[in-house]
């Protein structure tokens, strides 16, 4: 979907989740940082970029390695004494949204305070979109990516398109 002030595209989203066991977090993080060759995001919602991979801390012990659609998916060698890894990409897709109206349109779909530090560009946060859990990656002042379950991607894209059309036509009111 595209208009002069809003675009929505969909792509595959290779993701690897790595997680440290309780009580082993310091060792896990040191090992993962050395394996990846970069410092890990510190707090939930923090992100770090490494080539075509975005590292997102989605919970205190869990990181998502989110690759660009055409990037090779890494095979992290996590010591099983410290944690584990699992591929999540087959079950998720990425919506890339951009344009002057993106925050206004998404405000009709998800509950978020776009002015809060937790939703600032470069941050990630989890929310619910029509009862479906999604990860929102704020990429810029006028753009974000949403990682959504593949099984709901079509209906969520329709929902965003519907929100965009309603907000562009002042005479149309939202359904209750």
135 and 103 in a common domain: yes
123 and 158 in a common domain: yes
* In a domain? residue 133: yes
Q: Which of 66, 89, 112 is the last residue of a domain?
A: 89
One DSSP character per residue, 121-163 reads TT-EEEEEETTEEEEEEEEETTEEEEEEEGGGHHHHHHHHHHH
Domain coverage including residue 21? 14-89
150 and 112 in a common domain: yes
The mean pLDDT value for 61-74 works out to 87
34 and 82 in a common domain: yes
The mean pLDDT value for 93-120 works out to 92
Give the integer Cα–Cα distance in Å for 125 and 89: 18
160 and 142 in a common domain: yes
Q: Which of 59, 89, 119 is the last residue of a domain?
A: 89
Q: Which of 63, 89, 115 is the last residue of a domain?
A: 89
* In a domain? residue 18: yes
* In a domain? residue 6: yes
97 and 67 in a common domain: no
* In a domain? residue 176: no
142 and 96 in a common domain: yes
* In a domain? residue 173: no
Domain count along the chain: 2
pTM over 0.85: yes
Comparing CA positions, the residue from 119, 143, 158, 135 lying closest to residue 6 is 143
CATH number assigned to the domain comprising residue 41: 3.30.70.1520
Angle CA 8–106–57, to nearest 5: 85
131 and 105 in a common domain: yes
- What pLDDT digit, counting tens, does each position of 112-125 carry? 999 999 999 999 99
pLDDT score recorded for residue 69:
77
97 and 53 in a common domain: no
Comparing CA positions, the residue from 14, 22, 42, 15 lying closest to residue 83 is 22
* In a domain? residue 63: yes
Q: Are 18 and 82 in contact (CB under 8 A)?
A: no
CATH number assigned to the domain comprising residue 136: 3.30.1360.120
Comparing CA positions, the residue from 36, 37, 54, 38 lying closest to residue 46 is 54
- What pLDDT digit, counting tens, does each position of 3-58 carry? 778 899 999 999 999 999 999 999 999 999 999 999 999 999 999 999 889 999 99
* In a domain? residue 20: yes
Token pair in block for residue 67:
């690759």
């Amino acid at each position: 979907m595209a208009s002069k002030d809003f675009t929505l595209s969909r792509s595959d989203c290779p993701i690897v989740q790595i997680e440290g066991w309780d009580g082993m977090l310091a060792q896990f993080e040191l090992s993962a940082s050395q394996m990846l060759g970069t410092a890990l995001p510190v707090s939930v919602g923090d992100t770090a970029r490494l080539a075509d991979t975005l590292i997102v801390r989605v919970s205190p012990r869990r990181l998502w390695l989110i690759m660009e659609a055409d990037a090779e998916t890494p095979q992290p060698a996590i010591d099983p004494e410290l944690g584990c890894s699992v591929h999540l990409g087959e079950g998720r897709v990425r919506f890339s949204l951009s344009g002057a109206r993106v925050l206004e349109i998404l405000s009709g779909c998800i509950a978020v305070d776009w002015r809060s530090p937790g939703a600032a560009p470069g941050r990630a946060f989890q929310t619910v979109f029509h009862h479906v859990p999604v990860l929102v990656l704020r990429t810029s002042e006028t753009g974000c990516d949403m990682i959504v379950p593949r099984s709901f991607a079509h209906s969520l894209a329709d929902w965003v398109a519907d929100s965009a059309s309603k907000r562009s036509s002042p005479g149309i009111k939202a359904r209750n």
